[in-house]
Amino acid sequence: MQRFIDIAKKLLPLKRWLMSSNEALLMKTISSTDSQNIKQQSNESKNALHIGIASQDHREQTNKWQYSPLLRFFIHMMLITDEKLSIAN
């Protein structure tokens, strides 16, 4: 995971990321100086940290964000092309 985040930070600035979780976990995570530029959404029903690429939600007139499918595509490409990653058949 750390290797993935290091690669992703080089490809996409942190201001383009979206992070969501419950308020307590967000406050604990966002407190680091590395994560202060990341967009965040609080959702008390989430007990895990969700990280993705932020895409503006144009369905509403408000300034809301949604997750872009680009990150899923990037992860699939990494799984296919990463020679150091061992995947059990």
| pLDDT confidence of residue 62 | 64
| pLDDT confidence of residue 16 | 85
Tokens describing residue 12: 């996409």
| pLDDT confidence of residue 77 | 78
Q: How many CB atoms lie within 10 A of CB 49?
A: 13
Give CA–CA dist 41/50, Å, rounded: 10
Bridge-partner residues for 51, per DSSP?
A: 19
| pLDDT confidence of residue 60 | 66
In order along its 89 residues, the chain shows pLDDT tens digits of 567 667 777 878 888 888 888 888 887 776 565 566 788 888 888 888 888 888 887 776 666 788 887 777 777 777 777 766 665 55
Give CA–CA dist 34/28, Å, rounded: 12
Residue 21 one-letter amino acid: S
Among the listed residues 69, 55, 5, 53, the one whose alpha carbon sits nearest the alpha carbon of residue 32: 5
Residue 78 one-letter amino acid: M
